[in-house]
Structure 1
């Protein structure tokens, strides 16, 4: 497989310099995966290296969609590779698109892979700090383990003093996600930390606890 040709084939379907809708990108990714479902791990990584290092938002979001459509390759990825890819992303959309897929990788070996989340949680790059929370949003909504809940509260504790919306909104999202299986723990945490949590998180989490709605 010619990796650069495949990259150009994917991007050639965009046919526009304007922002491409996520639904269009998803269709492109699914069609490409359908035609290349036998791709080997080495080629898979080489293609994603090219896409994640590209200059456009479309390349990076496409890469994350393709990652999620190859779960057998995804779960075997090394921490260093995921860290490299995340370091090339900017803004909430690019970060969240890959976090939705990393959840599968993380839950395949939670205790063995929590180290990377802890590194991101204290990283100087805000995208990595956001990722440490958003990956857990998906995980805690699918897994009721106390281990994941405790890890989530620890990650929130470290970042709750930040004021940037990329972090404050992620804290709110994670706390609201925890309500599904850990409502009592979230209620207790909110009471104990209301003065130090972002105001938007306190407001949104309290509303969900009261109404059950987002």
Structure 2
């Protein structure tokens, strides 16, 4: 549960979303495209990045505990923007990347909806090296997510594999096959 300080920080972020929100224009259904029924503030990606940078410059002294509380509040937020904003904050506060544990990701995914919310958490938070470095744990979590009743977790299991892990396995396999092929050709 977020304390007063992190609740205030959370509200500060929402206030910026509201301030910069532009009215929905035309007939394009952004909610449908993003696969979410959550509230949307119509902001450009560059605006959200600027909000993240400015927020962290004002809160340079944010503690790891406050950062985690804020992420918990954001990933449970009412808007899709909040639910994708934690990843933006992490991009500028990499020192707190260890708070993105497999169990937290599993928990946060339970409240996300739509490809945008899921992909923003899974594609931008991890590297293949990070997942493969703790593969025993991650493989258990990914396997569990692939069978979960929650569609966001099932989707996340695929995103994690295809974005972060699969390319590393493919590179390793191709490299091994090329090495084998090269040795074979040299023998002939």
Question: Shorter-normalised TM-score: what interval?
Answer: 0.5 to 0.7
Aligned to 2:81: 58
Give the drift of 1:183.
5.9
Report if aligned partners of 1:65, 1:98 keep a CA contact under 8 Å in 2: no
d(CA) in 2 for partners of 1:66 and 1:52? 12
Q: CA deviation at 1:46?
A: 0.5
* Structure 1: runs of 5 or more not aligned: 150-177, 186-214
What whole-Å deviation, never above 9, does each CA across 1:91-121 have from its counterpart, x for those lacking one? 0000000012332453442233221111111
The count of aligned residue pairs is 151
- Determine helix, strand or coil for the equivalent of 2:126: helix
What is the deviation of 1:76?
4.4
Contact kept? 1:103, 1:136, Cα under 8 Å: no
Q: 1:27 to 1:120 in 2, by over 3 A?
A: same
2:122 matches 1:99? yes
Query: Which structure would you say has the larger RCO, counting Cα contacts within 8 Å and 6 or more residues apart?
Result: 2
Cα distance between partner residues in 2 of 1:34 and 1:181: 40
* Root mean square deviation of aligned Cα: 2.7
Could you state the TM-score of these two structures normalised by the residue count of structure 1?
A: 0.60
User: Is the radius of gyration larger for structure 1 or structure 2?
Assistant: 2
1:12 matched to 2:15? yes
Q: Structure 2: where are the runs of 5+ without partners?
A: 24-40, 177-188
Give me the TM-score of the superposition, normalised by structure 2: 0.68
Partner of 1:129: 154
Structure-1 separation of matches of 2:83 and 2:108: 9
Question: In the alignment, is the contact (CA less than 8 A) between 1:75 and 1:108 conserved in 2?
Answer: no
Moved more, 73-82 or 55-64: 73-82
Shift of 1:122: 1.2
Q: Does structure 2 retain, via aligned residues, the 8 Å contact 1:89–1:127?
A: yes
